[in-house]
Structure 1
Amino acid sequence: MGDACGIGPEIIAQWWPGGREAVVIGCPRVMARAVAWMPAERRPQVRVLATLNDLSALATDDMGVWVPPGLPDDLLDAPLGRVDERAGRAAAACIREAVRLAQTSEVAGIVTAPLHKEALALAGEPYPGHTELLQAEGSPPGQPPAPVRMMLANDQLKTVLVTIHVSLRQAIEQVTFDSVLETLRITHRSAALWGQSQPRIAVAGLNPHAGEGGLFGDEELRIIGPAIAAARSEGINAIGPIAPDTVFMRARHAPPEHPGEFDVVVAMYHDQGLIPVKYLGLDQGVNVTLGLPFVRTSPDHGTAFDLAGTGRADPASLAAAARMARALVAGRHR
């Protein structure tokens, strides 16, 4: 469901595909409020599920809601468009329950509506965002978290990040031989899910002009280049390091005028990789967590507090995330 004070519940309601296609993990009262904002002729009926088997008995326009443990009783009192500890607590509870259902194969994949990182922190969660929480929850008990990476994708561009929700200074410190090589391995393995067994992976440099032979920084010579060479020795088609101011333009796939030279770009830090994808349009962007033992996607936008409750939120990115989740689930079963 995402953050109850943001647009998550209402974009779910606007997108809703039908009673047997999906299930909402969340608060029935919050979802009923979101449904009530819709035109009367398009409102699904909110139904609380006792078991997931109850989905089969729903009418085609029903919305089945699965209530996770740990939801605050007064969640509906959390004000729209504001950071609230209750919303952060509820969002985390929904994620944990969705992961449990995925791990027991009761659901095929997870699509997460936006949460608010500050609300998550107010709720006492030690994780800065969805990715880190999913990584921790997705690991078997007693085992260290599996390495995961964030990919943002649309029809024209896919980017995978070496580092994510840390300061820029910390991100530079976290660009290591091991982190770059692990990112290339995860990207290569994951590409098979969308039908590319040998993806062309472009690797962005960290510095301007990819360091210009060490004139503007030597991370490309010391770290990124050797990691690319190691990946290539494993059969991974990694190319680079390439100047970050041109690599995304070269990778952009918009045929017939502009066929992309690469299938995916590995970027070194959050904004380097996400700005190009988001510039191409928020309505079709999808966030995918690579490396998890289950499929997880989400829209590429945030909680949009300024739009919450106005009826102006656009569900297009959520719809794209759901399409991507179905495609990745199908890829896992090929």
Structure 2
Amino acid sequence: MDLNPNNLFEQKKLATHNKSQPSNLSVSTIIAKVVTVYKVENNSSLFVGKYGFALAGDKESKHYQILLYGKNTILINYSLNKDFVYNVFENNCVEIITMTRWRLEFANIHDAVDFNSNISLILWKLNNPKIMFWIDLYYPIRNGVTAKFGSVVEVTFSAKIIQGKTIGPEVSNNYEDNKNLKVLIRNEGWEKSLMGVNVGTQRIIYIPAAEMGAWKILTDGHQSLCLIVNVKNVYEMEDDNAQVSLIMNKEIKIKLNNSSSDNVPNQNDQVVLNNINSSKKLLVETLSEELAELKKEHSKTIERLEKLEISFNEFKLNKSSSKDIIDLDLRKCLKKVYKSLIKEFPTDQSFTGNQVQFTIREIFYNYLSSQD
């Protein structure tokens, strides 16, 4: 059975099938998959058969439509709008509601994720691109722990910027880090988009510039962000606090210089854990505004070091006076401190405010001690 929509009917027919569609469109197929179709009536699913399921559109006019079609028939040719109902169900199923309620089952996870990824961007723009929007690409049966406010969700992620009408290049991911991002779900911020996930959920999240918080360091400050997360674990803080604390403590041990052991938090560890339990802060590995400020300081530090090098070279070309010797000692002192700061605060890691203050204090203390 030929389920290629371009072979089934011409673009002109595609564009004019609904009288409500605007004229002079150049509608083309965006994605098409084979699905098993069920018609839902009185809460019962009636088998219809295998059909093609396509998303088509004209990007310039922002007109999009979905089609459910066979070799010689079209079950649905529906123009999308902000009221269109598209629900992702467990495993590979979705449900759409036009004049009729349809349950569609994709052949495999890859087809489901591929189609849902393509339609998600359109649904976000049709609703309100200035508001955060998310949709599941896939999830297994929700028979385990599902995330709620106060849960900690452990995920891998891929972050891509939105460029105009399309999803742009990837700007960050943690696939090769050998450690997952742990997120505390709160009732504000982008974290609330992880409500309802369970282990195995793949979810796509569209975050506008005004709502992305610390993720903004990955953009130019005005772009939106497309975040794709794969859920690895969900922890309930009330029911599984000891296990979560252990996981947190291992992360803290990596980030802090003076962790005492794998299982017993020291004073600095406990401060972080208390912040987690009070829903104020999640992990030192979570992207933070402090990191953005630190990166700005790095650029300033590099400029200062370059100026110090120039000054030092100029000094060597001239005869020194007693004042020049004092200035040179000061330059050497600053240069050593700046290099220590760069070493202690690599740009690929994040830090809490307490860590920054503690580390800077230790750098100056150690330097002054070495001068005694």
For the aligned pair, the TM-score class normalised by the smaller chain equals under 0.3
Higher relative CO (Cα under 8 Å, sequence separation at least 6) belongs to 1
- Between Structure 1 and Structure 2, which shows a larger proportion of strand residues? 2
The structure number with the bigger radius of gyration is 2
TM-score normalised per structure 2: 0.24
